[in-house]
């Protein structure tokens, strides 16, 4: 795995930075997650990172939200 600092093109650093932000948020390290999200050059990646931060914060504050905020891609609907 390549270190983010060694990726020379800023645009190519955006998606890995969003992934790092999401991982930090899932570990409840919100300050580090925000710092990683700010490094996203692509606005879609930045939005994805911030959405994950807010989602994880909401789940931490109210664990009953976990089922409502679950990613639908992880739980595909069963077809009859």
Alpha-helical runs (H) found in the chain = 10-26, 30-38, 43-61
Mean pLDDT along residues 41-55: 94
Q: Which comes out higher in pLDDT, residue 71 or 21?
A: 21
Taking residues 27-54, what's their average pLDDT? 95
Q: Model-level pTM?
A: 0.75
Residue 10 pLDDT class (50, 70, 90 cuts) = low
- Tell me: pLDDT of 76 over 80: no
Mean pLDDT of the chain: 84
Q: What is the pLDDT at residue 68?
A: 84
Give residue 28's region: left, alpha or beta (phi > 0; psi -120 to 50).
left
């Amino acid at each position: 795995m390549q270190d983010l600092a060694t990726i020379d093109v800023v645009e190519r650093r955006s998606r890995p930075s969003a992934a790092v932000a999401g991982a930090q948020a899932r570990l409840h390290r919100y300050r580090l997650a925000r710092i990683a999200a700010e490094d996203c050059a692509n606005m879609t990646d930045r939005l994805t990172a911030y959405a994950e931060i807010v989602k994880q914060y909401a789940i931490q504050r109210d664990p009953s939200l976990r089922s409502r905020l679950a990613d639908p891609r992880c739980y595909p609907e069963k077809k009859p």
